[in-house]
Structure 1
């Protein structure tokens, strides 16, 4: 089920049909608004449900002039809805849970409407709350190509990597159907070497590269970075990771462009 408004949708269904991805690439109108292939910007941030003081001011500062917002632990309060509307974002959200009538999960917002949206869920084995993945697709200007974006919040509370690997492979099956530019990013919960090895394996199969940061302020858990940006068929040309106190994760900012022909 989804609740679709003029510029937003809340998704509660589980499962992505690879055939739909192919169909939507073929059926997208030539007149549809497109991302600028010459350069587009993203904010990636686990916002801890916006619980900490001054979160709103930081969010407004970081989302300024961003084409895409890739948010984990979004908490869909009226205040957050109002911010997204005021900043003129379309948004889609994959729900992990609802508390006191407020939905929480991963949220992807964009200045243009996506041409394809689907969501994947997998329950945490111990706490039974789903972790979610939201996949969106956008046409790119001047090229007969589409950008596919996967917004991840991966399983956390397990000692074994079996459920973690299952969630990654579930996503990998969908992403492997897309031949074009690809961004896979979010909170990977890669707090161990074994978890990181699962991601490295998936990145290899999907021909993804990892973004590196000159000044690396990405958040650490047990000595491992947990927030990542992987990409394919694109050139990153600005990367920023900023230390903040308004979440337990530090936001990442990046600009990509399509390589010159």
Structure 2
């Protein structure tokens, strides 16, 4: 009897994990983007289109914040985000949990934007989030399943009009993390690089690339080199690093003038934020 009970224990443990997984997480059937705006209500769509988009830069200046905000798990996330975002025209967040607190902060600051739900945990969406004071011209959702954790990672491809008549393409990515090899990583970045390859104007590709190995760096750079983008160099550079010293967060750009870029220290997330200041050529 004891032997049968011991044999049954692993199966019971697996069953308990599967039940808990189904209770906690809800996965989207397909990649969809939700639009956040105080003035309009739109359903979840694969792509959001806005023919009346306004320019995103401010007199030729485009200040950018890129930050994995760690699902707002640190108590000082709100004060840190408020300080970092106050002079920015574009905010790209990864691991944004669409809690009541974050939604209230977005509404109070009169931000608009788009979020791609990687998954819902206890009915609260989590994924990548683009914020600006104007809605984009286009925003499309991308997701890729983590092969081990079976939870998707998300990305947004968006376009924004500029005051010089050009259109800026922006990718905000939270890349696949736990894999053996680079197949899924290559597929996720390749889909976004393919979308960007059709864009002839300026672009920004930024986020948490989870570039913790030389193999991943090679995949990332081989795909992005085809787009003729440059990588921002930070001073100071306190980007989160893997144990081997490789940074996980990156900003690439094309067709913009880089004024300055920095990655300051912050204890409001497990990643340090990135601030980049561009001007139009």
Q: What TM-score do the two structures reach when normalised by structure 1?
A: 0.89
1:206 is paired with a residue whose SS is coil
Shift of 1:109: 0.3
Partners of 1:251 and 1:49 in 2: how far apart? 14
Within a 5 Å distance, the mapping from 1:17-96 to structure 2 comes to: 28-29=51-52, 32-36=54-58, 38-96=60-118
Within 5 A, what are the aligned runs for 1:61-140?
61-140=83-162
Secondary structure at 1:221's aligned position in 2? coil
Structure 1 residues 184 and 9 mapped into 2: Cα distance closer, same or farther (>3 Å)?
A: farther
| Root-mean-square deviation (Å) | 2.1
* CA spacing shift, 1:97–1:234, aligned 2, 3 Å: same
The aligned runs of 1:1-261 (5 Å cut-off) are: 3-4=34-35, 6-7=37-38, 28-29=51-52, 32-36=54-58, 38-141=60-163, 143-222=164-243, 223-259=245-281
Q: For the residues of structure 1 that align with 2:113 and 2:153, how far apart are their CA atoms?
A: 19
Larger Rg: 2
Q: Contact between 2:140 and 2:156, CA under 8 Å: does it hold in 1?
A: yes
Conservation of the 8 A alpha-carbon contact between 1:124 and 1:155:
yes
| 1:187 CA displacement | 0.1
Give, in angstroms, the shift of residue 214 of structure 1. Answer: 2.3
Instruction: Say whether the 8 Å CA contact 1:12–1:95 is kept in structure 2.
Output: no
Question: Structure 2 CA distance, aligned partners of 1:28 and 1:12?
Answer: 18
CA distance 1:9–1:203, shift in 2 (3 Å): farther
Q: Secondary structure at the match of 2:188?
A: helix
**Cα deviations across residues 199-221 of structure 1 (Å, max 9, x unaligned)?**
11012111110000122111101
Q: Gaps spanning 5+ residues in structure 1: where?
A: none
Q: Does structure 2 conserve the Cα–Cα contact (< 8 Å) formed by 1:94 and 1:107?
A: yes
Cα pair 1:3 1:11 within 8 Å, conserved: yes
Q: Residue 11 of structure 2 aligns with which residue?
A: none
Structure 1 equivalent of residue 29 of structure 2: none
- Runs ≥4 residues deviating over 2 A: 1-14, 31-37
Aligned residues: 248
After TM superposition, give the deviation of residue 128 of structure 1 in Å: 1.0
